[in-house]
Amino acid sequence: MSRLPGDSTRLDHDRLGAYPRSAVEALADLGLSDDEIARYFRVERSRIARLREGRPRIDCGAAALALRPTTPAHPG
């Protein structure tokens, strides 16, 4: 695949994979900073920051509580 000069968006997508937000979140969950993640993927730190700003972080315990029904299920 040929790239046009200055086509950094496509290059960033290639470096971050098919699911860039998930890739960044996984490394952030492991404790890496935005700077460390940017160096790992060889992209601008601002790109990492934009991806992390796009989705609020959810605690797994809180997410499980949110999925629990608040009223008991009644048969039939």
Domain contains 69: no
Residues 22-51: tens digit of each pLDDT: 999 999 999 999 999 999 999 999 999 999
Backbone angles phi, psi at 17, to 5 degrees: 85, -175
> Domain containing 45: what range?
16-57
Measured CA angle at 51 (ends 47, 56), to 5 deg: 150
Domain contains 70: no
Whether pLDDT at 4 is above 50: no
Domain contains 11: no
Q: How many domains does the chain have?
A: 1
Domain contains 42: yes
Domain contains 3: no
Quick check: pTM over 0.75? no
Share of the chain above pLDDT 90, in %: 43
Domain contains 51: yes
Domain contains 20: yes
